[in-house]
Amino acid sequence: MALRQAQGDTAAQGDTAAQGDTAAQGDAAAFDFAGLAARLRPQCEALVAQYEQPRSALLPMMHLFQEHQGYVSQDAMRFAADLLGLSPAVVESTVSFYTLFFRKPVGKYMLQVCRGLMCELNGAEATMALFREKLGIGHLETTDDGLFSYEEVECLAACDKAPCMQVNLEFLYNLTPAMIDEMLELMRTGTYAIAPMVQTAKPERTWKVGQDAQVALGGKSPGTLNATDPNNAGGVGDASGVIMLDRFVSKDVAFTARSRERLVRDARAVAEIVEEEGANGHAGH
Amino acid sequence: MPVTKVLTAGIGEADLRDISVYRARGGYKQWERAVRDLKPADVMEACDKSGLRGRGGAGFPTGRKWSFLPNNGKPRYMVCNCDEAEPGTFKDHMLLEETPHLVLEGILLGAYGIGCTHAYIYIRGEFKRGYQIFQKAIDDARAAGLLGKNILGTGLDIEVTAHRGAGAYICGEETGLLNSLEGKRGEPRLKPPFPAIAGLYGMPTVVNNVETLAYLVPILEKGADWFASVGTERSKGYKIVSVSGHVQKPGNYEVPIGTTVREIIEIAGGLRPGRTFAAVQPGGQSSACIFEEHLDYPYDYESMAKAGSMLGSGAFTVFDDTTDWVKAALNSVRFYAHESCGQCTPCREGGHWLERVLHRFVEGRGLRSDLEMIRRVSGTITGLNLCALGDSIEPFLKSVVNRFPEQFEARVMQELTPA
Ligand SMILES: Cc1cc2nc3c(=O)[nH]c(=O)nc-3n(C[C@H](O)[C@H](O)[C@H](O)COP(=O)(O)O)c2cc1C
Ligand code: SF4
Ligand code: FES
């Protein structure tokens, strides 16, 4: 009883891209937020009208802005705060609760692979390792070219078609290595069936390590190495990266004592910076 | 084979998203009948008499839940819970995408039954496609005069709004859901007051699962007695079971409640060739595993409780002898650690500490004292939290540590080697 369609059907029409929001790659200042806000205002007001209380429209409004701007910007949150009569801090506190709101620019393809138990029983670990290897990034990271963001997510309610994932929130089921190869290739050439997300600002590099690590890993993020521990695979930008680095440095890669020391120091420094920036929110983006 | 297609009838055969196809198969007949010929009390009575129990996890009798609404003249809300994020559960996802009009008809009947004029459905953020499909179903039903103002010319008004979440398991918990629907962080509320007294916008509210509300349609069509005649003594009717894990044909199977655990495994194609059975997790990630000695238990609320577990949301995960229980336990605990909303210390801290301990085991660096600690610690997590998420961390873990201790012991660090 295969009750839901295979991926061919779901992948058919991507509809995230909004006309007119041209990607101002690498030049966030060029993005005309005021123009976008003016265009979306009527839709936002219609959303407010759907509910007995205006604040209920907050999540739908943030979805709307993310669709058009590629992420939930400070501007968008301030706009929502204004419209709903809330303080910007209350809006940000709310938005930061939800993992599907990206508070920093992300890649054009958001690859969210299920790490749930039912998928793990059916090969998700190998699938995740393959993605990390092919992309050169780990959990919650974005490739340098801004094309891919990668995340390992909780059960997607499609466990009968494991292993599975979402690409820009469209489901892909029963993943195989061949499918993954083909998908990444088509995405790179811009011919994939699922539309890329709007990108109005270049994603920041999400992992930062000392040169030694990059050289040792062929330019890849340390997050790529961590196949057994999805939760701590946050790369070095994640505080847990310290633990992780410690582990792979001692076990998986032959480092000199000096470079090992330096790596751990770098990792600690980054973890501190990250903590200072308070960028350890629920969403992680 | 006891597979009986009630809610799942027509799925995979006809395009039930198309309102004309749905109506040609008898869809919206019960809604039309309710609006024209039945009083809200009739719907409530049918619901109560059928013995229908909530399909979202707790199994609370639906009619009784409705009866808690106070008659105080305040507006009432019906909220359909389609947040489906309990790992292993994938039935609401299917119903939403494959037969949205049935879900909508169920919501309308529920709303009418409790006397509500504005119903909401909270759809998990990841179900973007499902949300679009459902939004279209609402639009088509509105165009057909089935919802909105002056329904079918009778003067009745019921509005339905689809609301999309944005990623957070805890928004499936009914008060977390209500906060999220109010545009707040999806943190569960302190109870009492229960939603029936003070729910959405502080008004009397019923939160019901998608499958629960959808069953109202066949119950009205075939009668409460028909539903109540199926099942076991206190668990009535049918249930969609989401079978996953180590079976050959994972999927959603609708069966009479009381079908045995063994039969359900067989319906899903049985184990893979050459494998032997190890365990079933019968009610989602929050439930303890049951084992060989429970294979002939009927799959109903009481029997699953007797087996030391629960029927929960009907997620039925099968594990064979290849399972790495240490990794499985880590995965499960990690899920709760990740999804804890952080309000309660035992849940927030307990999950993370257990995760770290289990992580040590996966790496073969467990400590013998950890095993003791795992067995002991549950008493300091369970029962001390605002919501059931915190209480869900340990049942699976404890059941597998007790049943497969050798797998954990094998990962205890043998000797401490100097760095
Ligand atoms: C952490 C947590 C998550 C839950 N997730 C869901 C869910 O995704 N869907 C659901 O219907 N009920 C979920 N529930 C149960 C709801 O709180 C509530 O009991 C249910 O929606 C009531 O509907 P019912 O009476 O029809 O079962 C969850 C409960 C908890 C504690
Ligand atoms: S038990 Fe956990 S998820 Fe539930 S309210 Fe407390 S901290 Fe939040
Ligand atoms: S575990 Fe991957 S979809 Fe449920």
- CATH number at B358 reads 1.20.1440.230
> Cβ(B227)–Cβ(B215) under 8 Å?
yes
The band of A29, judged by pLDDT with boundaries at 50, 70 and 90, is low
Share of chain A above pLDDT 90, in %: 57
User: What is the distance in A from the centroid of ligand 1 to the CA of A150?
Assistant: 29
Chain A closest-CA separation from residue B379 CA (Å): 25
Strand partners, B240: B254
Is residue A282 a part of any domain in this protein? no
**Residue whose pair of structure tokens reads 């690498």 in the numeric block:** A26
Stronger pLDDT, A243 or A63, i.e. the higher one: A63
Identify which of B95, B120, B207, B387 to mutate to test ligand 1's pocket (most ligand atoms within 8 A of the CB).
B207
- Per the structure, the count of domains in chain A is 3
Stronger pLDDT, A261 or B307, i.e. the higher one: B307
Looking at the fold, whether B120 and B214 belong to one and the same domain comes out as: yes
Task: Supply the pLDDT for residue A271.
Answer: 56
Is residue A256 a part of any domain in this protein? yes
Task: Strand A165-167: give its sheet, edge to edge.
Answer: A141-142, A148-153, A109-114, A165-167, A170-172
> In chain B, which stretches have pLDDT less than 70?
1, 378, 415-419
Report the alpha-carbon distance of residue A115 to residue B268 in Å, rounded: 23
Contact B317 A117 (CB under 8 A): yes
Looking at the fold, whether A89 and A108 belong to one and the same domain comes out as: no
Whether the per-residue pLDDT at A251 is higher than 50: the answer is: no
Looking at the fold, whether A88 and A110 belong to one and the same domain comes out as: no
Task: Supply the pLDDT for residue A231.
Answer: 40
The band of A241, judged by pLDDT with boundaries at 50, 70 and 90, is very low
Could you tell me the residue range of the domain that residue A86 belongs to? 32-95
Report the alpha-carbon distance of residue B105 to residue B214 in Å, rounded: 7
Looking at the fold, whether B256 and B208 belong to one and the same domain comes out as: no
Closest ligand 3 atom to residue B87 Cα is 4
User: What is the CB-side half-sphere exposure of residue B352 using CA atoms within 13 A?
Assistant: 12
Could you tell me the residue range of the domain that residue B60 belongs to? 19-223
Is residue A83 a part of any domain in this protein? yes
Task: Supply the pLDDT for residue B356.
Answer: 87
The band of A205, judged by pLDDT with boundaries at 50, 70 and 90, is low
CA dist B267 to A35, A173, B253, B279, Å?
Answer: 57, 22, 8, 16
- CATH number at A111 reads 3.40.30.10
Longest Cα–Cα distance in chain B: 82
SS3 of residue B392 by DSSP: coil
Is residue B269 a part of any domain in this protein? yes
Whether the per-residue pLDDT at A230 is higher than 50: the answer is: no
The band of A16, judged by pLDDT with boundaries at 50, 70 and 90, is very low
Report the alpha-carbon distance of residue A269 to residue A243 in Å, rounded: 13
Write out chain A residues lying below 8 Å of B319, CB-based.
121
Looking at the fold, whether B42 and B56 belong to one and the same domain comes out as: yes
Looking at the fold, whether B178 and B277 belong to one and the same domain comes out as: no
- CATH number at B81 reads 3.40.50.11540
Q: Which residue of A has its CA nearest to B164?
A: A60
Identify the residues whose C-beta falls under 6 Å from ligand 1.
Answer: B 54-58, 60, 62, 65, 81, 83-86, 170, 172-174, 207-209, 212, 387-389
Is residue A205 a part of any domain in this protein? no
pLDDT in tens, A52-81: 999 999 999 999 999 999 999 999 999 999
Report the alpha-carbon distance of residue B159 to residue B108 in Å, rounded: 9
- Say whether residue B118 is in contact with chain A using an 8 A CB cutoff: yes
Chain A closest-CA separation from residue B231 CA (Å): 22
Contact A154 B339 (CB under 8 A): yes
Structure tokens at B346: 């035992």
Looking at the fold, whether A81 and A109 belong to one and the same domain comes out as: no
Contact A157 B250 (CB under 8 A): no
Is residue B11 a part of any domain in this protein? no
DSSP conformation letters of B87-152: TT--HHHHHHHH-HHHHHHHHHHHHHHHT-SEEEEEE-TT-HHHHHHHHHHHHHHHHTTSSEEEET
Write out chain B residues lying below 8 Å of A228, CB-based.
362-363
User: What is the distance in A from the centroid of ligand 1 to the CA of B370?
Assistant: 32
Contact A1 B166 (CB under 8 A): no
Is residue A78 a part of any domain in this protein? yes
Chain A closest-CA separation from residue B363 CA (Å): 9
Pairing of strands B156-164, B148-151: antiparallel
Stronger pLDDT, A206 or B337, i.e. the higher one: B337
Long-range CB contacts (within 8 A, 24+) of B363-367: B363/A228, B363/A247, B363/B411, B364/B411, B364/B413, B365/B411, B365/B413, B366/B408, B366/B411, B366/B412, B366/B413, B367/B412, B367/B413
pLDDT in tens, A124-178: 999 999 999 999 888 888 998 999 999 999 999 999 999 999 999 999 999 999 9
Task: Supply the pLDDT for residue B153.
Answer: 97
Report the alpha-carbon distance of residue A177 to residue A188 in Å, rounded: 17
Is residue B90 a part of any domain in this protein? yes
Residue B148 phi, psi (nearest 5) = 100, -140
Chain B closest-CA separation from residue A36 CA (Å): 22
Q: Which amino acid, residue B272?
A: R
- Say whether residue A280 is in contact with chain B using an 8 A CB cutoff: no
Whether the per-residue pLDDT at A5 is higher than 70: the answer is: no
Q: Which amino acid, residue B311?
A: L
Q: Which amino acid, residue A28?
A: A
Task: Supply the pLDDT for residue A283.
Answer: 36
CA dist B334 to A11, A54, A216, B196, B351, Å?
Answer: 30, 36, 30, 33, 7
With a 6 A CB cut-off, is B389 part of the ligand 2 pocket? yes
- CA of A152, nearest ligand number: 3
Looking at the fold, whether A223 and A262 belong to one and the same domain comes out as: yes
Whether the per-residue pLDDT at A255 is higher than 60: the answer is: no
Contact B3 A100 (CB under 8 A): no
Is residue B245 a part of any domain in this protein? yes
Report the alpha-carbon distance of residue B45 to residue B223 in Å, rounded: 11
Q: What is the mean pLDDT of residues A105-123?
A: 96
Strand partners, B318: B245, B280
Q: What is the pTM of this model?
A: 0.89
CA dist B136 to B11, B102, B392, Å?
Answer: 18, 13, 36
- Per the structure, the count of domains in chain B is 3
